[in-house]
Amino acid sequence: MTPPPLPSPPSPSPSVLALAPVLPVVVVEDVADAVPLARALVAGGLPAIEVTLRTPAALEAIRAIADAVPDAVVGAGTVITPEQVAASVAAGARFLVSPGWTERLLAAMKASGVPFLPGVSTASEVVALLEHGVSEMKFFPAEAAGGTAYLKSLAGPLPGARFCPTGGITPASAPAYLALRNVGCVGGSWMLPADAVAAGDWERVASLAREAAALR
């Protein structure tokens, strides 16, 4: 009797670094802005959206985007506690981003079942994460922590690490980051000018997103 075929292994979660060259870092003050803002970013070619947990509206914004914008890959940023990990995933976050990490936070992110980018700014932090089997990280604050020169210096001794630099990056500086072999994408908010969001000028947001998506 022929044994039944073995089940196929589960598909690996897609890398956040591979979704688009730019990861929009979004601060939502009004939940009503969340869905049109996400639709504008997706229309411009930026499907991955990091909603930072810096406002009371953040979790509801994540939930609204997850429910109403199926083409968006919405995640939670500025995640700094295990409790925020759980709340973000419950709201529909499909990835997590932290500005830094602790053993407790890292354990919670690993257990969450979604991809995550723990934040680093030193070589020692990178080595520690590699020891934990984590190779994709957020480099933050990118410009203040040494920028492209620092990341380039890490590529030789730490070739297994790949980064999403975030913090102070502009459309002018983004291409230099994206040219580095250890950079998968960059994070930024320049495609979300405050006046455009306040005015509901989503076409302008979509246009800036298209320019960002074309950087690589």
**In the annotation, is 152 catalytic?**
no
Q: Which of 50, 60, 103, 203 is catalytic?
A: 50
Q: Where are the beta strands (DSSP E) in the chain?
A: 22-26, 48-52, 73-77, 96-97, 116-117, 119-120, 136-139, 162-165, 186-188
Radius of gyration, alpha carbons of the chain: 18
Q: Which of 136, 138, 143, 152 is catalytic?
A: 138
Cβ atoms of 76 and 93 within 8 Å: the answer is yes
Torsion sign, CA atoms 187, 188, 191, 194: positive
Residues known to be catalytic: 50, 138
